[in-house]
Structure formats: C-alpha cells, structure tokens
Structure 1
Amino acid sequence: MDLDAVLAGCSSNDNVVRKQAEQTITAAAKSPEILSQLMQRLQSAEQPQVRQLSGVLLRKHLRSHWRRLPASAHKQIQTALQQRLVQETVEPVRRAVAELIASIARLTVPNREWPGLLEWLHQLSAAASEHHRQAALQIFSSLTEVIGEHLQESFPVLQQVFLASLKDSSVEVRRTALEAVSAMMPWLDDEHHIALFKDLVPLTIQVTQHALQSGDEITAVLAFETFLDLLEVPASWVGAFFPALVKLSVESASNTQLELNTREQALQVVNWLAQFKPKQLTKQQLVKPILESLCKLCAEPDPEDHDQDDQLSASKFASQAIDTLALNLQNKWVFPHCLAFAKDAIQSGDSNVRAAACTVLVVVAEGCCDACTSHLSDVLQNSWHQCNSTVAVHDLGRALWVRVLALVVLCDFGIPLFLYMSANGPDELQGYLEALMAKLLEVVRTGNSDTQYSALGAIASAANAAGASFQPYVPAVFPVLQQYMEATDSSMLKRRCRATEAMGLMATAIGKQAVMPMVPHIMQAALK
C-alpha cells in the first residue's frame, strides 16, 4: 500500500477517490503495522495536512491496538508525541497531537502507565510559548472531563495551573483555561476539592468582565456556561458570589452592544438561581434589581426584520426570566415590582414601553395568580384603559399590538377576573365580556399575522374563563374560528393551530349539548 497516496486520497475533493482511500485505511488499520507508518508521517511529513491527518487517524485506530503493543513501544510513542507537540508550529497539527496525547493518556493514566505526564504538562502550562500553554490546558481539560476521578490527587496542582492560566496575557489561553475549569467541576466531590475551586471564582468573573469589555463574546459565553456549572457545586461559600454573578448577568443581558445570544446566555444565571436557589435571591435582596432590569428589557424594540418564531429578542428572553421568577418565588417578592412597573409604563408615550407593561402582566399571571386576584382592580384598570385608548395614525401599527397585549392580559387573568365579576353580578360580567369579544373579533379580522395570532389566543383564554357565559358569543366567534381552521396556506399554519385550540376550548366551555350541532363543521374544518 502506498500510504502517502492513500492519505492524499483521504483529502481529495472527489467523493469516489476519498471514499476508496478511507476504505483502504480502515482495512489497513486492522494491522498494528499501520501505526508506525502513521507515526512516521506525523513526525516528518512536510505537508501540514498530512501530519494532521496522520494524527487524526492514529487517534482513531491506536486504541484498538494499544494493549497488544509492548511496553517499549508505548514508551517510544509517548516520548515521540511529547516531542512532536513541542516542536510543531502549525496550530491544527498541534491540536491533533494534543488530542492524540489525551486519547492515549485516558488509557494509561488510570493504570499509572505514563509516568511523568502530569509533571510535564504542568511545566508546559508555564512555557514561554502561549501555544504550548494552551496545548497543556487542552490536554488537562480532555483528561479531566473523562478520567477526572483518577486525577483528584493532582487537583491541587491543577488548581495552581488554572489560577495562573486565568491570569494569562493570551486570550486563547484564558479561554482554554475556562474550558478546563468547567471540566474539573463535576469531580469536586468532597470539601477539600471544592475548597480548591473557591479562589478560581473571582478570577473567572474578572476574565468574563475583561472579555465583555474587549468584545470577546466567545470567551464571555463560555464563562457564563462555567458559572452555571459553578452554581451546582454543593458548597455554602458559593452563595457569597451570587450578588457579583447576578450583577454581571443582568448588566450583560442589558448591554445592547452585545450579540443577543450572548445576552441570553448571561441571563441563564438568573434563571438557574430562580429555579434552584430562590431563597438565596430573596435573602440577599437581589430580586428587586433583577426585576427592574428585566422589566426595562421587555421594552427593548425587536431588531429590524426580526422573526419572532426563529430569532431571539431581548423582550422575549427577559419576559421568560420574569416568568421563571414568578413561578419559583413567593408572590410578594415578584408581583409588587411588576405591578409598579406596569402602572408607570402603561402611561408612557412610547408604545414599546406600554407593550412591556402588558407583557410583564401577562407573564406573571400564572406564577402570581393569588397576588393578581387581590390586586385585580389595578390590573384591569390599566389593561382596559389601554384597550380603549386612541392613537395617532402614524402609531397605529404598534398601538394595535399594544392593544392586543392588553387584551391578552385581561384574558390571562380570566379566571380571577370572572370570579371577581361574578361576585359583583352577572350584568357586570356580561358587559365586560361583550366589549372584550368585540375588540378581539375586530383584531382577528383586521390585524396583521402577529396580532391575529395573539387575539386568537386571547379568545381561547376568554372562552376557557367564561365557561357557559360564553354562549351568546358563539354565533359571532364560530365562523371566524372555522375560517382560520380551514386555511391551507403555509403562512397561516400557526394561526390555524391557535384557532383550533380556541375552538376546542370554546366547545368545552359551552358544553356538549350546545356544541353538538357544530361538531360536523368542526370535524370538517379540522380534517381539511
């Protein structure tokens, strides 16, 4: 076999040639003789792509032959790879060698069959070359991720390596250090090991801040992922860092100069704390500043040409975070701040701010149901006022969206609302429902796709809340829902689904006897 020709074939753009070359390598790899040939190419081939491919193929096939090789061959390969890593000048090849070393180390370190490897890596992590420092961290990260339990006795040394690496002048080294730190955390299973990590937290926060200031969002995202791992560490001292982490998280999420996915990742810290450490948030008085920032974020306009279905928006991930807080904290910690914001924001001349007021009330409706009921008059006054507001022609499009949100608020508060109205007499209930349905049907007929979708959902909520009281509105609502259910254009799919949901809730609300005459028409529309 002409190995050089086969390796060249593996890199060919011709699919037939490449597939044939790969099949030849797979067949040859059944014999350990291929290993020495690949090692030779890895060490001395002039073309970087040949050296890189040789390293990749060795990592793929060496494992199956390793145990059958003599100890002398093990030593020879290990020494050659250490030398190759130090001498290699091309980054992709160097990474391939580092991955190969890590692959062999995972086989040998647990049985202490690579003496001196960890000491060599420790020295390499302090080398003059940033490429060598980064390579050492890559290997440490790979080893810790897979065989961390066999490295626990070396954790004090690793901690010192990570401390130095997080202070490194190289961005790449600091980023790789974060990956290594994150890989180590799942293996911190006793107080001594956990204590070692404590000193790494302030440095990780500093690395994140520096990355954000310098526009290095890749490192920042990685750091926020590392913080999520940190929050799972079972140690009381972790709580001491919550204020700094929350501040960093909220400030980053509010920074409009950052990419939206970076901002969302930053906010995951708040979401995690709300779900798993809610008492710490309240104990350390962190809820109010979090909610103040999140409510403001709900008013951030969407980017131009924004696709609400497929793209992130600040208002979306902020409202999701508010919902998480409402579901996991006691009402008294969340609802007063949200209601105070909504009362002020609903009076704003900025339609984005008014929309944020409605959005905030919508998302807390489920988690703060009891508080919503006791403050229902405030919610209704603000939302109903917005539904009946008049606007200038130039602001009509956005204002219509705000009105729909206000209607959704009313319907999401439907159950406590109708309990309240029922207690004050049927006439008051019917008067409210009549006006509400008239507005919703107007939006469903004349609004754009987004407002129609939301209004259909509001109709579903209203029917669910009103129950049998919804019967007088069926003649007007049924044909509208039927029309949407029969729509076949792909652009109508979401609205068709929402109309189908509304039809089902309406049928449940009015009861079997009332809905029976409509069943054939409903089935025909649903199956169309």
Structure 2
Amino acid sequence: MAAPTLFKMAAPALEQLLTELLEPDSAGIRQATARLREALEEPGTLEGLAVLLREAERPQVRNLAAVLLRRRLRKLPPGLIDRLPQLVVEALERDTDGSCRGSLGLLQARLLLQGGPEFREPIWKWIQGATREPQKLEGALRVLSVCISEAGPALFGHAPVSVSHAPSCGSPAPFSGPALLWLLRGSLRSPNPPGVVGAALGALGELLPLLGGTRKNLWRSLVPEVLQALQELLERDQERGAAALEILEQLLEFHPEALSSHLREMLGLCLQVGGAESRGDALRVRALGTVTATVQSRGRALLPLLPWLLRGVLGPLCAPLGSPPDPEDEDGAEGPSPRHAAAQILDALAQELPPEKLLKELLPLLEGPARGSCAGGRKGAMLALAAIAGGCGSALRQRFLAPVLGALRGGLGDPEGAVRGAAAAAMRELREQMEPHLAPLAAEFLPRVLGELWGSPQGWFVLEALLEALGEGAQAWLPQVLPRIQGALEAAEPRGRELALSALHALACSCESLPLPPPTLAAVAALAREGPHQLQALVPVHTGLYWSILVYTGVY
C-alpha cells in the first residue's frame, strides 16, 4: 500500500518536519533535510506549505514555509499559483509576527513579479482595508514597502509612475502613483503612532526611484511634509527616526531638485539632532551622516549657507569631552562618535568646495576652540585640521603654514591626552603635504613622549606619528625608542605587544635600514614563534626585517 503524501497526512506532519529543521541538533537537521528533500517532490507537500502559512503554530515554521514556497515558486502547480496571492493575504491578515510578515511580503512580491494584474488585486485590497484599522496599518505599510522594493517597476507596467496631488475620481488602479502617494502622505500625519509614520517614510523612500520626475512642484510640496514627519518621529521614537532619515538621502539621489529650496530646513534638522547631547550617539551619527551625504551631493549649492553650516558642525565637533569618552580615546571601544561624524562633514566640504572659500570661513571659527579652556574644543580643532588635510593640504602649506605648525605644536604639547592624540592624527594626515616642515616638530616632541609614563594606546599612537614624520631622521632616535618597544614586547599583556609591534612597523616605514640589536630581535622573535601571522604587518614595508626574524627564530 502506497504511503500517503504529507498533505493527505494533514499539515501537522509537515509542520513537525519543519520544526525538526529548527531544532539545535545537527544529526536531526540532516535527517529532516533529507526527508524534506524527498517530500518536496510530492505536489501535495507544496499544498501543505501553503496551509502552514496560516495554520502553523510557531512563527518560525510559518516563516520557513513562506521561504520554501518563494524558492520553489516556478515549480508550483498552476492551480496553487492562482490561489496563492489570496492565501498570502489571508496569512497576512492573521499573522502579527514581524519576521513572518516580512517573509510573506517577499513571497507576495515574487508573485507580483510572476503574475499579471489579477495578482495585485488581493494585496491592494488588503492594504486599503488596513488603512481603516490603525492596529493593522503599520504592518500593511511594511508589506507594501517590501513589495515596492522587490517587485519594483513590475507593479506599474515597467514604466515610471505618473503622479498627481490626489487620486482621480473613482477607484484608482492598484498600485497606481496617485493611490500610493495619497495613502503614504496620509500616513505621515499626526496623530498616527511612530510605527506607522516610520513605515510610511520607509515605503515612500522605496517608491521614490519609481516615480516620474516631471512634476517638480509636487516633490517640492512633499519635502515639508517629510521634514515635519521626521521631526515629530525623532521626538517620539529615536530608533525609528534614525532609520527613517534614509529618505533624505533617497531624495538626494532620485529627486535632488526637490530639496533645492529646502536645504536649510533639512540641514537644520540634521544638525539640531546631531548636536543634541541628550540623544543617543547612533541617532546623532546618522543625522550628521545625512549632512555629509548632502555635501557630497549638492556641493557648491551650499556655499551661501557655508558660515551657518560650519557653526552647526562645530557644535558636536568641539563639544566637551564626555563620559563615556570618544571611542578612539578608550582602548577597545568601537564605532563612530558624533565628534568624528562632524569631522567627516568637514572632510566632505574640503573635497567639494574651493579650498580658499572653505578656509576663509573655517579657520577663524577654529581659533577660539583651539585656544580655549575646553579640552573637547581643542581636540575638535585638531580633528578639523586632520579632516580638511586631504582637500585643503596644499592651500594650508602655501598660505597658512606657520599657523598650522603653531596649532600642531599646541596640540602635541596639550596636557590632555585626547588632544595630543588628535594632533598626532592631524600630523599624519598633513604629512604628505608638509613632510619637510613636520620633522623638526616631531624631533621637538619625541623626547617628551619618551620621557613620560605613556602606556596608553594614545601614547603609542603619538609616538608612531612622530616617528613617521621624522622619516629617515628616526634613525638617530633608535637607541631611545627600541628599548621602549622591547620592554612592551617582553611584557605579558597582549595589547601592549600589539601596540609595540605597530610602533616597530612605523619605524620600518621611516627607516630604509632598521638594524635591531639582539635583545630587541629576540623579543620580536618570541612573537614569531607564536605564529608568523604576528609579524605580517611588517611585510609590505620591510620584507628584509620580516624574513630575518623568521630565520632567527628557526621558522625558516
């Protein structure tokens, strides 16, 4: 007697099989995978997966069923394909799990790509119905966003969408430009909850590449609504607000002309968020990153706003040193800080604007923080020099050499370690343009660095910058520097050995010949015995040193 198919055995048998695939048991997973591979050859199994979209108890199983159906969409029988759009809508109506709805949305998008207009009708009716039920609206908008992102032009007959301010009389076609814009613009307004507003902004961002760009007045009218919605969302939910800021970069990419008359308002919102110390760092960095994207996109269009823009950037750049400290000031910390996100704006400005125009406005603004009593301001001034070095280095050397060297001298001699570290970063960035002028400065401060109790990563970072600035002049300092490196290499602390090896790498960059005395060579060789990978950093600049250490240790 032939065994019944899994579908005829009822969905629970298939549900149990999928459940076994989710268990943390490697042997069980292998067995379940083999059984599923055989079962998928049975047409009834595909019908069973469709049932599980709605009836499986565990959301992980419902999610897996949606994924399997999407992957085998072209192998489904025609009858199931025709019913699947409605089955997906029924599953969406019942499911409240975000991950499941995402998978169902992806499945629906694939159906929209594969089918004709009749496949669009069920999902559009469901989305329209959700607009009348606030508890369903957020989920519907997120599904809509997935469909727009994945199905793209297929929703609109492979042509840009013609749009107007409101849908025409009668019932607009499913996924028509007027209907979608009317739905999304209505969802931006208060008193919709943050989830709805964030989802509407996300869907609108996905829609932007598909909308025709001929109605510039419409886009200009849309920008104030987007900015107002963003401002309210940022006040109510920082996490959703940070994600929703992406729409500004999407507008910059696809409809930059719409922002031309709203640049100050948009940048003002981002600078206000980026400078607010009461907000989370992730949100502040995201907002300041949007300013950087605007600079890169609009460039010279920002010249009339430059003085105002720079004052806004200097707020987070020169803010007081806080608790916790900036990531680069704390060993082991990761991630960008608002201070460095502000410096990246200056980097972008230096790349996009004429150097003389930027320096004329920026340098006077930096004088106060560079000489002030606030260590954060002094650090910010040093980071500003580092940021503009790439775009303005030549102009700084030709017209502002003495002030720049004076600022670096003040930074390297600052009592605050964070300021000295920022000055070292500026020296490194300026080295290509000012190398002959930096060597005397490095020689002036190297004795101080070597004479202090510097065991922190910042101290090593400053040492490296000074050695690189000295160039071949570093040879004269080997008797003082190498014992420091040797002591750190012989210590048991792994981080200290890593920093010492990095300093040795800086010496190798500077010196054409780097003879190591036997005690230092032995200390480095001890690392090679732990594995040649410890010395890989030396290979690009000092292959001879690398191989001599390997030979010394007997590795080769």
Normalising by structure 1, what TM-score?
Answer: 0.79
Q: Are the counterparts in 2 of residues 140 and 180 from structure 1 also a CA contact under 8 Å?
A: yes
Distance (Å, rounded) in 2 between the aligned partners of 1:517 and 1:135: 67
Deviations 1:305-341 (A, max 9, x none): 9546523333233333323322332223433444334
Deviations 1:47-86 (A, max 9, x none): 6327x7246414423663556534x544444334434444
Q: How much is the aligned-residue C-alpha RMSD, in angstroms?
A: 3.7
The question of 1:185 aligning with 2:196 is answered: no
Aligned partner of 2:381 in structure 1 is 357
Q: Are the counterparts in 2 of residues 408 and 457 from structure 1 also a CA contact under 8 Å?
A: no
Distance (Å, rounded) in 2 between the aligned partners of 1:357 and 1:94: 49
Structure 1 residue 164: Cα displacement: 1.3
1:444-459 map, 5 Å: 446-459=453-466
Structure 1 residue 10: Cα displacement: 3.1
Q: Are the counterparts in 2 of residues 134 and 172 from structure 1 also a CA contact under 8 Å?
A: yes
- Of 444, 449, 460, which aligns to 1:440? 449
Aligned partner of 1:377 in structure 2 is 402
Deviations 1:492-528 (A, max 9, x none): 35523531332123214xxxxxx37669964478657
Distance (Å, rounded) in 1 between the aligned partners of 2:72 and 2:424: 65
Aligned partner of 2:186 in structure 1 is 164
Distance (Å, rounded) in 2 between the aligned partners of 1:126 and 1:35: 32
Q: Are the counterparts in 2 of residues 106 and 143 from structure 1 also a CA contact under 8 Å?
A: no
Deviations 1:35-57 (A, max 9, x none): 333334444x4x6327x724641
Q: Are the counterparts in 2 of residues 345 and 356 from structure 1 also a CA contact under 8 Å?
A: yes
Distance (Å, rounded) in 2 between the aligned partners of 1:138 and 1:517: 64
Distance (Å, rounded) in 2 between the aligned partners of 1:116 and 1:211: 32
Deviations 1:121-154 (A, max 9, x none): 45224222431x2343233222211221123342
The question of 1:145 aligning with 2:152 is answered: no
The question of 1:114 aligning with 2:119 is answered: yes
Distance (Å, rounded) in 1 between the aligned partners of 2:345 and 2:285: 10
Task: Rate the CA distance shift 1:281–1:197 in 2: closer, same or farther, 3 A.
Answer: same
Aligned partner of 1:347 in structure 2 is 371
Aligned partner of 2:527 in structure 1 is none
Aligned partner of 1:392 in structure 2 is none
Aligned partner of 2:534 in structure 1 is none
Structure 1 residue 200: Cα displacement: 3.6
Distance (Å, rounded) in 2 between the aligned partners of 1:407 and 1:66: 60
Structure 1 residue 25: Cα displacement: 3.1
Structure 1 segments unaligned to the other structure (5+ residues): 390-397, 422-428, 509-514
Distance (Å, rounded) in 2 between the aligned partners of 1:166 and 1:290: 28
Query: Taking every aligned residue pair, what percent have the same amino acid on both sides?
Result: 19
Distance (Å, rounded) in 2 between the aligned partners of 1:174 and 1:35: 37
1:256-295 map, 5 Å: 256-285=277-306, 287-295=309-317
- Of 26, 45, 50, which aligns to 2:37? 26
Deviations 1:86-144 (A, max 9, x none): 45567666665555433422321xx334263465145224222431x234323322221
Distance (Å, rounded) in 1 between the aligned partners of 2:426 and 2:95: 63
One-letter code aligned to 2:273: S
Q: Are the counterparts in 1 of residues 488 and 500 from structure 2 also a CA contact under 8 Å?
A: yes
Aligned partner of 1:155 in structure 2 is 177
Distance (Å, rounded) in 1 between the aligned partners of 2:276 and 2:52: 50
Q: Are the counterparts in 2 of residues 274 and 281 from structure 1 also a CA contact under 8 Å?
A: yes
Aligned partner of 1:424 in structure 2 is none
One-letter code aligned to 1:126: T
Q: Which moved more, 1:302-311 or 1:377-386?
A: 302-311
**SS across alignment from 2:86:** helix
Deviations 1:268-326 (A, max 9, x none): 112112323211221443543343334324x4425169546523333233333323322
Normalising by structure 2, what TM-score?
Answer: 0.76
Task: Rate the CA distance shift 1:478–1:233 in 2: closer, same or farther, 3 A.
Answer: same
Task: Rate the CA distance shift 1:193–1:179 in 2: closer, same or farther, 3 A.
Answer: farther
Q: Which moved more, 1:98-107 or 1:221-230?
A: 98-107
- Of 20, 43, 46, which aligns to 1:35? 46
Aligned partner of 2:246 in structure 1 is 225
Task: Rate the CA distance shift 1:6–1:507 in 2: closer, same or farther, 3 A.
Answer: same
The question of 1:402 aligning with 2:423 is answered: no
One-letter code aligned to 1:399: E
Distance (Å, rounded) in 2 between the aligned partners of 1:311 and 1:516: 35
Task: Rate the CA distance shift 1:65–1:309 in 2: closer, same or farther, 3 A.
Answer: closer
Structure 1 residue 378: Cα displacement: 2.2
Distance (Å, rounded) in 2 between the aligned partners of 1:414 and 1:89: 57
